[in-house]
Structure 1
Amino acid sequence: MSIYLDEKNPGKHPPFDDASPDIVEYVRYLEVIAGKSANTAFSYYCDLRGFSRFMKRRRGLVPADTEIKDIDPKGLDTAFWGSVRKEDIYEYLYFLNRECGNKKSSTARRLASLHGFYDYLVNQVSKLTENPTASIKPPKQDKVLPKYLTAEQSMDLLESTQYQSDFPERDYCMVVLFLNCGMRLSELVGMDLGDIDLEQRQIRLFGKGHKERMVYLNEACVEALQLYLAKRNTMEGLNPKEKAVFVTRRRKERISNRRVEQLVTGAMKEAGLKGFSTHKLRHTAATLMYQTGNVDILTLKQLLGHSSVGTTQIYTHLQEFQVRAAIEQNPLGTVTPEKARLDTTKRAAGENRGENNADSMDVEEAASPMEAFEGAANDGIRVDISSMTGDKETV
């Protein structure tokens, strides 16, 4: 039985039962009681199956030279989980780093899966009395600044969606929503027609953990949606009962995450943009809003749908933008020295003071103050879309 999720309907999946009974029960608890999404539960499930394989080899339950991927994760009972010690956990983290090449963030997530599993066994169902992960802290994470597009690169991407796409109204609209609303890929793909209220200029999104939030639409988003929906609603062969906002051109069904990634990647390539993923458009929206929209960190947290302000803190590095501008706007920033008085190198060699002026280099004028990205937040990021409003035939 396949244990992988259908990305279009992740909540409708076969039971996760290719693991020990305690793990299966824990994953059911995550989905039903704790209210975690199917994707989150599945991630924890995969992590715990991986730990099961590692522990089977560590305890000699399989030949020492058995590949981890070939080990059956089933067959471990509650007594086995109770026998796991802190040193086993540390050895597993070492294995993830040295043999699997996991990044610190991936290792931390797998440790979080173990924390949750043992907390469940000890505190939720009282099957164990000790938690071997209780005092183990995740590896200290590297502070990596989010990668994002500049305003100019964003405009180039929007231009690209109009000319390289076989469904420009749809692709342009998706990129506009990414860049202006900062929504996740899964949130955009999961949008239904009933979630859009153009009159009130807002969209209802369902984020991680089934968390609902309202995102307000600026003029660019409203215009792009109106243009796309007019085209979508006249598509030949589209089922009138289809509720998905974004659909495929051929099959007339909800577009998949992978297809959106392919379309955005293609548009970026045509725009000459390399090294950017679809998720970077979310970072771009947050960055541009923080830089130019006078948005505080708590407002940005709500807009992005973060459960903790700590997640949103990655954007606080953008304060450097304002700091640089403030320094450059200092009225003393253009004061230049009397070079002949300050350059004492030649004087020390016995040369005349007046000779210093001839050989000294001019001091460059201070750079002009940095200017914030122009364009009111109410207007949004968009380009001229008049080319899509004519009688052009869509292939």
Structure 2
Amino acid sequence: MSIYLDEKNPEKHKPFDDASPDIVAYVRYLEVIAGKSPNTAFSYYCDLRNFSRFMKRRRGLVTDDTEIKDIDPKGLDMAFWGSVTKEDVYEYLYFLNSECGNKKSSTARRLASLHGFYDYLVNQVDLLKENPTASIKPPKQDKVLPKYLTAEQSMDLLESTQTQSDFPERDYCMVVLFLNCGMRLSELVGMDLGDIDMEQRQIRLFGKGHKERMVYLNDACMEALQIYLNKRNTMEGLNPKERAVFITRRRKERISNRRVEQLVTGAMKAAGLRGFSTHKLRHTAATLMYQTGNVDILTLKQLLGHSSVGTTQIYTHLQEFQVRAAIEQNPLGEVKKASLDTTPKETGESRGEFAVTSSDEPENDAPGGPMEAFEGAAQEGFRVDVSSLADTNEPE
């Protein structure tokens, strides 16, 4: 974790001073004027420090064999930024790919940092006349489908949080919210008690850039929250002024992002789930809602807190599931081609007919279409039997 960011106070950080003054001023602009979150500002800050190190080596300000990480990113002035050319930027992108092994998405993010920095210098503070990044486009991104848990795997994970945790009420509740609300890790950790409205069955979340949105709580979320909050509010030694919803068992303070990741990863391993991260639970929620809840892409955008529908369109691959379901449920799909094939037939052959089960065979009792198996899941939510958790909250 960054030495600058404080997980338990995500809106606070130490001063950004390990870079040139122009970069520090730009990061302050991002937070104060542009309203970017500390995480976003820090990401841009790291990108620009890395570019500073690269340019120092490229311009011969350090020896060629100096490791990038050992180069001091400070000491660059406005004259230096003005001397950067389009060729320098292209060389930097090549460096990210060849030496750093960056994925296309990471390279695009680092280019966006440079775009933003030079746009600030040219258009916001009028310190430069030319933007060397203006005409440089990011690398074309690979279309990668989001990785997510199936409904069955999600249920296994929920079971695991009850049996593999020393604080099952809390861990179960966190995973239920991830799977049903599609919230980000930072949104869950940053939740305060005042953000929850049990009467209206909703919760207020603060997403990237401190953008506020309301998320509906289904039956599974309501049940999990009631069980956990009953346990939380009766914990011995808990400071009555503690606002955080999710707290640590020992210190009775707001849980950190890293600790949540450790708990979720441990529960996944115990459930036999490999290759999934905590963020994949957000993908899982979006996927299951899109598949089973008849949720359109604009509604999903609002629920996930995306600023652009383009971000949400990663889930449009799920339309294949719904298209297949619609085709299978077409009533004309049962029409048989009985006499169209005029090819001569031999005795015993049924050429010209589709493979159809005989009327003497028992009918299939399976649901009529792929969507029916999930009917009602969107309203009730994904949960498992939590009677054992509820029992622990009753007076002895």
With structure 2 as the length reference, what TM-score do the two structures score?
0.91
Match of 1:215, SS state, is strand
Preserved contact between residue 162 and residue 172 of structure 1 (Cα < 8 Å): yes
Match of 1:300, SS state, is helix
Give 1:374 shift.
2.8
Q: Which amino acid aligns with 2:66?
A: T
Preserved contact between residue 3 and residue 16 of structure 1 (Cα < 8 Å): no
Preserved contact between residue 336 and residue 363 of structure 1 (Cα < 8 Å): no
Alignment-derived partner of residue 21 in structure 1: 21
Match of 2:25, SS state, is helix
Deviation string, structure 1 residues 227-256 (Cα, Å, up to 9, x no partner): 100000111111111111001111111111
With structure 1 as the length reference, what TM-score do the two structures score?
0.91
- Distance across 2 between alignment mates of 1:321 and 1:137: 34
Preserved contact between residue 230 and residue 393 of structure 2 (Cα < 8 Å): no
Match of 2:235, SS state, is coil
Alignment-derived partner of residue 120 in structure 1: 120
Alignment-derived partner of residue 299 in structure 1: 299
- Distance across 2 between alignment mates of 1:326 and 1:197: 38
Preserved contact between residue 173 and residue 228 of structure 1 (Cα < 8 Å): yes
Provide the aligned C-alpha RMSD in A: 2.4
- Distance across 2 between alignment mates of 1:371 and 1:25: 53
Alignment-derived partner of residue 346 in structure 2: 354
Note closer, same or farther for the CA distance 1:115–1:371 as it changes in structure 2 (3 Å cut): same
Alignment-derived partner of residue 383 in structure 1: 384
Deviation string, structure 1 residues 263-304 (Cα, Å, up to 9, x no partner): 111111121211111111111111111111121111111111
Preserved contact between residue 23 and residue 45 of structure 1 (Cα < 8 Å): yes
Q: Which amino acid aligns with 1:10?
A: P
Deviation string, structure 1 residues 98-134 (Cα, Å, up to 9, x no partner): 1110000000000000000000100111110000000
Alignment-derived partner of residue 210 in structure 1: 210
Q: Which amino acid aligns with 1:238?
A: L
Alignment of 1:94-243 (within 5 A): 94-243=94-243
Q: Which amino acid aligns with 2:83?
A: S
Alignment-derived partner of residue 284 in structure 1: 284
Match of 1:89, SS state, is helix
- Distance across 2 between alignment mates of 1:219 and 1:165: 23
Give 1:355 shift.
6.9
Match of 1:325, SS state, is helix
- Flag structure 2 segments of 5+ consecutive residues without an equivalent: 358-363
Preserved contact between residue 182 and residue 283 of structure 2 (Cα < 8 Å): yes
- Distance across 2 between alignment mates of 1:223 and 1:6: 31
Give 1:363 shift.
4.5
Deviation string, structure 1 residues 298-343 (Cα, Å, up to 9, x no partner): 111111100011111111111111111122234454566689x78x
Give 1:369 shift.
3.3
- Distance across 1 between alignment mates of 2:198 and 2:350: 68
Q: Which amino acid aligns with 2:389?
A: M
Q: Which amino acid aligns with 1:384?
A: D
Give 1:376 shift.
4.3
Q: Which amino acid aligns with 1:272?
A: G
Give 1:155 shift.
1.3
Alignment of 1:257-336 (within 5 A): 257-334=257-334
- Flag structure 1 segments of 5+ consecutive residues without an equivalent: 348-352
Alignment-derived partner of residue 252 in structure 1: 252
- Distance across 2 between alignment mates of 1:276 and 1:154: 11
Give 1:375 shift.
2.4
- Distance across 2 between alignment mates of 1:314 and 1:218: 25
Match of 1:276, SS state, is coil
- Distance across 2 between alignment mates of 1:145 and 1:309: 16
